[in-house]
Structure 1
């Protein structure tokens, strides 16, 4: 098994501790709580679909990634940076707080938070299917039943499984697996598109409606500057805090609209209770 160490100079505010706390409560990809400061995860390297493991520590403004696995660990490192939002230049993020006092308060309450997403758009799409029309806790049980040694099955493996799941979930999961193999759910490709175009592309996958497609783009590809238009909890939060429409309020959040949205959702979940489970 190969080993690889990568040091990443993170641009702008970042706290591994805050981000790790967020991810440990993010139901679809929840990490087990562990002692020590490192964030540890095992995932499939997108495209190759081979296992890789990473231990992430923070040394000042530098993220240190200790990787191991059988696949391309440079690809794995890029993927880690994407799902931890370490690949985003966040130096102008504090300016959003200067323009918007609500976001300033959120930044102060969640110092250094960078949204942690799904390991890949493929896994985000699979979660979207699993969580349709059932409780998040029930979807988490379904997902756990599919894991192989703690990792979600690769697309080709998922196609071979006899999926004993309710409703049309088996059909839709197979469509997701086929889309992943065809490159439709590739994170780099989705991030290269404008968010609206990326969402439309994902909606071509059977079983993925507007809400699911937004989740895949915003939290699967972890696009930093996109707006969820079908997330009622965020809309409610903005209405309560601002008394103005989300589309109007969010203009002050550019180019970090996803980040601002996630901050508000985290604060809402803290206030009202519940798991941070979607976009």
Structure 2
């Protein structure tokens, strides 16, 4: 098994501790909890679909990636940077808070947070199918049952499984697997497109509608500057806080519209949890 050490100079605010805490609570692709400060994870390297493991630590403005695995660890390192949003120049992110007091409050509450969550668009697409017409908790149980040692099956493995799932979910999962094998869900390819074009491209995969396609592009490929138009909880949060439409408000968030959207969603979830706790529910 090969080993590889990569040091990444992170541009702009970033906190490994904040990002790790966020990801550990991200039900669709929850990060396994480990002792110590490092973020540790095992995932499939896109395209090769071989396992790679990473331990990420922070040294000031530098992310230190210790990788191991049998595949291309340079590809694995690039993927880690993508799913942790370390590949984005965030030096202009504080200026968004300077323009928008609501975002400034979120930045203060979640200092150094960068969106993370899905290892690849393929996994995001598969999750979208599993979550259709079911609760997030139930979908997470199915996803965990399909995984081996916490790693979701490769597209070829997923395609070969005979699953007892309701409706057309098995058919849709096979369509997702085929799309991944054909390169239609490749993160670099999707990131090279304009976000709206990428979302339309993903919708060509059977079973993936507008909401799922946005999840695949914004949280699977981790596109930093797009607005989710089909996420009602974000729309509700913007209406409550700004009293103006999301499309109008989000113009001040460029070129980090995804980041701002994620911050608002996290802010909303924390507030709602607090309200539930206060009411004794």
Structure 2 distance, partners of 1:273, 1:214, is 25
Deviation digits for residues 92-134 of structure 1 (CA, Å, limit 9, x no counterpart) = 0000001000000100000000001300000000000000010
Residues 220-239 of structure 1: pairs in structure 2 closer than 5 A? 220-239=220-239
CA RMSD across the alignment: 0.8
Deviation digits for residues 55-110 of structure 1 (CA, Å, limit 9, x no counterpart) = 00000000000000010000000000000000000000000001000000100000
2:90 match: secondary structure: coil
Structure 1 distance, partners of 2:250, 2:10, is 25
User: What stretches of structure 2 of length at least 5 have no aligned partner?
Assistant: 275-281
Deviation digits for residues 128-155 of structure 1 (CA, Å, limit 9, x no counterpart) = 0000010000000110111022210000
Aligned residues: 274
Deviation digits for residues 165-218 of structure 1 (CA, Å, limit 9, x no counterpart) = 111110000000000000100000000000000000000000000000000000
Mapped pair 1:218 → 2:218: yes
Structure 2 distance, partners of 1:38, 1:89, is 22
1:22 match: secondary structure: helix
Correspondence for 2:72: 72
Correspondence for 1:41: 41
1:12 match: secondary structure: coil
2:255 match: secondary structure: coil
Structure 2 distance, partners of 1:15, 1:107, is 12
Structure 2 distance, partners of 1:31, 1:158, is 21
Correspondence for 1:31: 31
Shift in Å at residue 32 of structure 1? 2.2
Correspondence for 1:271: 271
Shift in Å at residue 28 of structure 1? 1.2
Shift in Å at residue 273 of structure 1? 2.7
Structure 1 distance, partners of 2:263, 2:149, is 32
Residues 67-106 of structure 1: pairs in structure 2 closer than 5 A? 67-106=67-106
Shift in Å at residue 33 of structure 1? 2.1
Mapped pair 1:124 → 2:129: no
Correspondence for 1:195: 195
2:75 match: secondary structure: helix
2:3 match: secondary structure: strand
Give the 4+ runs in structure 1 shifted more than 2 A.
Answer: none
Mapped pair 1:183 → 2:183: yes
Contact 2:32 2:41 in 1 (8 A): no
Shift in Å at residue 34 of structure 1? 1.9
| TM-score using structure 2 length | 0.97
| TM-score using structure 1 length | 0.97
Correspondence for 1:141: 141
1:63 match: secondary structure: strand
1:273 match: secondary structure: helix
2:213 match: secondary structure: helix
